[in-house]
A and B are shown apart, each in its own frame.
Chain A
Amino acid sequence: MNTTWSRFNITSITLGFAFLYLPIVLLVVFSFNESKLVTVWGGFSTKWYVSLFHNQGLMDAAWVTIRVGLISATVATVLGTMGALALTRYTRFRGRVLFSGMIFAPLVMPDVITGLSLLLLFVAIGMDRGMTTVILAHITFTMCFVAVVVQSRLVSFDRSLEEAAMDLGAPPVKTFFQITLPVILPAIVSGWMLAFTLSLDDLVIASFASGPGATTLPMKIYSQVRLGVTPEINAACTLLIAIVTIGVIIASVANKRREVQRQLDERAAQRG
């Protein structure tokens, strides 16, 4: 295959990535601004990070957000993986069309609708709004993303491995944990990370589902942004970006290593 990478291709990619990254880079740069103005450079300073750590409201919100993210991502990963297994392994069961509809619809459903409907549910069943309701709401919409990610891995999974294990007498549950799980683990890990960042990120659904006392970081950032743009918010955003970027890079490096190892193993197995 002739892959001529023309000047046009290079230009469009360069411009595209500039468009994607320039706003984020500017945001990060201005978080180190000495001046209180976000758009006029007044020299390098880390004072906004210091004031950030003394801002009790923001710190509390960050702690709530992290707890919500960890719990909801973990439960969503379990439920989403089950959903993915149900979709790929059981092609016939009653209500499968509805099931796959309920998995795919939340991916594109506008947040305002999901948020409003969940809030009305919580009110209808008389549940006090707070961290628990935010967690339940986040599990619901992130599990669908996990299901899609895991499903795409399961589709290309070589089922003869499972059949071999079962033929040799491994019970289904053991087969799952010893054969299937290790193979789909990278997808499960990236599903978890996706669920965690989506939860970390969500403003609209959390605003509907949350009650007094459970303010998440995006809710806090949003209410401060409405009052005006400050370098402190830039600093908070920069920290969030840094955490996510490091996480993604670690995950992708680990993934690549595993992939290389797998290829080496396969080659060794073929020779042996």
Chain B
Amino acid sequence: MSNIAVADAAPPPTAAKPFMMRLGAGFVSRLVIIVPYLWLLFFFLVPFVIVFKISLSQTAIAMPPYTPVLDFRDGISGFFTGFRDLNFDNYVWLTQDALYFRAYLTSVVIAAISTVLTLLVGYPIAYGMARAPATIRPTLLMLVILPFWTSFLIRVYAWIGILKPEGLLNQLLLSLHIINQPLVILNTYTAIFIGIVYSYLPFMVLPLYSSLEKMDYSLIEAAKDLGCPPTAAFWKITFPLSLPGVIAGCLLVFIPAVGEFVIPDLLGGSQTLMIGKTLWNEFFANRDWPVSSAVAVILLLLLIVPIVLFQHAQARAQEQDK
């Protein structure tokens, strides 16, 4: 009862707020939106516009190594005359050189296969965690998250020592007489698959776990009571209910994997082709900024559909939480 008394004693909220305070609230709330908004506009969106613009420029031996350099040094008119020199030559070049097309294609295929493999490896883990006794679940969860906190580079590096021809895996297999010749895994696509599955596994397990944990297992019990075999129960009940987790996990793995650089570079060697590596080499080795910008623009276009799907999934999950 005391609460009500206090509420009655306090004057009606809106009328009582002094004008200055309301002004302050409005200003602060606007600031909360404006500051991160402007930051992201300037450091996230504007750079994409610049990338697009430079992808239409010509390579030049200068610093910065492209022409025309659009800036306001010659005034507004100079800025606009620069536009006439822009063209799509770099994109034409990308379509003419089969290397780029193959790099895009292999990247998408490798990312897709790795995503499926990560799902196959991650699902049993997430399922096992979700069905674990409630007391040990937080520990298991932390154990999945912990590798995610350790450096990506370090985790990829660790696999070099394992997969090398004279590495630990081959030593083990040779000493067990399972193989007679060391397996060549490092610097092949197999090594890239292993690297992606390993590095992105937590991204797959976490969303899967959170949707499997929410599931009502009495549904499975009911299915079993009604004579449904376990496999059928899995495909008819468990899997469809975990679908939001499957979608979120797959997108979280697939999108960054397409543009992955560290894994193909360290584990894939020089023989393997992936677009992130191509972009890197184009930029750092060939110093061809316009072509690497064009590569980035096409990569972004390729990923725009999955990224929008990911955002929808995020927004929907957020709505459900509310």
Contact = CB atoms under 8 A, between A and B. Distances in A.
A200 B154 CA distance: 11
B154 A27 contact: yes
A181 to B, nearest CB: 13
A12 B124 contact: yes
Contact of A120 (B142, B151, B266, B289): B289
Given A23-B198, A248-B146, A237 B311 contact: no
Contacts, number: 277
Contacts of A93: 33
B296 A102 contact: no
A152 B321 contact: yes
Contacts of A9: 124, 127-128, 131-132
A235 B284 CA distance: 29
B128 A117 contact: no
B217 interface: yes
A24 B256 contact: no
B161 A86 contact: no
Nearest to B41: A102
B179 interface: no
Secondary structure at the B interface, as helix, strand, loop or mixed, is helix
A197 B168 CA distance: 29
Contact of A20 (B37, B132, B144, B159): B144
Contacts of A147: 36
B112 interface: no
Interface residues of A, number: 94
Interface in B243-289: 251-252, 255-256, 258-262, 266, 276, 279-280, 283-284, 289
A43 interface: no
Contacts of B251: 108
A100 B44 CA distance: 13
Interface stretch (B80-88, B89-97, B299-307): B299-307
Majority secondary structure of chain A interface residues (helix, strand, loop or mixed): helix
Interface stretch (A46-54, A55-63, A77-85, A261-269): A77-85
A71 interface: no
Given A110-B260, A112-B280, A121 B131 contact: no
Contacts of A166: 13
The interface centre, meaning the residue of A95, A109, A120 with most chain B CB atoms within 10 A of its CB, is: A120
A68 interface: no
A227 interface: no
A102 B32 contact: no
B21 A172 contact: yes
A117 B50 contact: yes
Contact of B151 (A89, A108, A200): A200
Given A23-B198, A82-B35, A3 B321 contact: no
Given A171-B21, A171-B25, A90 B158 contact: no
B77 interface: no
B256 A26 contact: no
A12 B157 contact: no
A79 B36 contact: yes
Interface in B44-64: 44-48, 50-51, 54, 64
B293 interface: yes
Contact of A79 (B39, B64, B216): B39
20 contacts: A1-B216, A23-B159, A23-B198, A82-B35, A101-B311, A108-B306, A109-B256, A113-B259, A120-B50, A121-B47, A124-B50, A124-B71, A139-B43, A156-B321, A172-B24, A208-B283, A218-B151, A233-B157, A240-B150, A248-B145
User: What are the nearest 3 A-B pairs in CB distance?
Assistant: A110-B259, A117-B47, A12-B124
